[in-house]
Amino acid sequence: MEDMVPEGYPIEKHRVNTEDGWVLNMYRIPHGKYRNNKPGPRPVVLLHHGITLSSACWTLLNANESTAYILADAGFDVWMANTRSNTFSRGNYKHSYRDQEYWYHSMDEYALIDLPAQINTALAKTGAPKLAVVGHSQGCSLVYAMLSVMPEMNDKVSVVAHLGAVVFLDFFRAPVLKAFAEVRNDKFFYNSWLGEFLWYRLLAPYVKTCTEYIWSELCMSTLNIMFYGPSAFISPDDNPVIFQTWPASVSGRNMAHWAQMLTDGQLRFLRFDHGTNCSHRNRPYDETCNQQRYGSLQPPEYDLSQITAPQYLFAAEMDVMATNEDAAEQKRRLRPEAFAGETIYQNYAHMDFVWDRNARHAVDLVDLLYRYAPQ
């Protein structure tokens, strides 16, 4: 990560130990290079990546194009989070990545253990009373989940900027991912020995091929069809940069969690469903059951109406993952006083929020963060 940051931007790595034995690496750019380039107190913002990504998605492009540099030059103390087991947070005191138990985690652990630990670390290091959070895709889902369950964290967050927030999957339109869920891949991951969904160490040789110009357009088209939907702004010429860090490793259980919600059919934002068979122990992920974990047969919902910190939605008109219908349902579930507003970007797609060199949303984002910055 450090070797990706242009000379002149200070980059720090901060180690975060979680209560259940994970070692997470956060990265910090405390001030800018071209403007606001002197050390000193300033508003703190935490950037959280989406699924299959890492903190690198905020720093891949040039200084006037990547979110982390734009915010640092605009006068923010920028922190970047990483979820457990991704490219930059592989450490675990109890298990090797070869162990099945290493991969026993999903959004619940990211939202209720990893994210609070990283927020508390950033606040402790900076001495700031609050910070803003900018999430992309699943990064938004994690913030929603944390704030709905942990009321004390609402007092530590000045505002949340949701870039393409994915929550309610009844409106999900990414064809390959939707088909993958509808064949009940959650059952497959429950019963198989596999723990990792995207094996970066095995995919790397093939992904590297995509950095060659002759394959660029084919690779980008395949990526868009399989995962994120088409983009009018991300050029195949950017593949050599994008595929330096994509994909970051993903837990199969994380994918299973999304599959459970997509096939639930009841428009719910749920915790992971461990099943109701408490006596059966021959499946790798069945370390518990709903009754033991939650005290109920069904996993509980994340209730967005419990959130009090301001939430602002940045939506993309062409987004097939975070659809406009999904955003409307999020607004409906939030308290009126917690919903801070929404901007919909015409012709924008899901990954344009992190990979578009024009970054059309950046000015609006900076304005929002300053508007809610602690005085």
Render pLDDT for 190-222 as a digit per residue (tens, 0 to 9): 555 456 665 445 555 555 566 565 566 666 666
- Helix, coil or strand: residue 344: strand
Mean pLDDT along residues 95-114:
91
Which one is catalytic: 89, 137, 148, 158? 137
Answer for the pair 64, 70: CB distance below 8 angstroms, yes or no. yes
Q: Check the CA dihedral 205-254-104-248 and report its sign.
A: positive
The partner residues of 78 in beta bridges, in order of sequence, read 29, 45
Question: Quick one: residue 182, left, alpha or beta (phi over 0 = left, psi -120 to 50 = alpha)?
Answer: alpha
Query: What structural domains and CATH numbers belong to the chain?
Result: 2-371 (3.40.50.1820)
Mean pLDDT along residues 138-163:
98
To the query of whether residue 280 is one of the catalytic residues in this protein, the response is no
To the query of whether residue 106 is one of the catalytic residues in this protein, the response is no
Which one is catalytic: 274, 350, 352, 361? 350
Q: Tell me the pLDDT tens digit for each residue of 43-71.
A: 999 999 999 899 999 999 988 899 999 99
Q: How far is CA 366 from CA 26, 236, 261, 371, in A?
A: 22, 28, 33, 9
To the query of whether residue 319 is one of the catalytic residues in this protein, the response is yes
Average pLDDT of the chain? 87
Which of 81, 52, 64 shows the shortest CA–CA distance to 351? 52
- Helix, coil or strand: residue 111: helix
Tell me the one-letter amino acid at 50.
G
Residue 335 CA to its chain's centroid (Å): 23
Please state which of the ranges 84-88, 119-123, 148-152, 213-217 shows the lowest mean pLDDT. Answer: 213-217
The token duo for 254 is 């994380």
CA torsion angle 122 12 41 164 (round to 10): -60
- Helix, coil or strand: residue 299: coil
User: What whole-number percentage of the chain has pLDDT above 90?
Assistant: 57
Which one is catalytic: 186, 238, 319, 352? 319
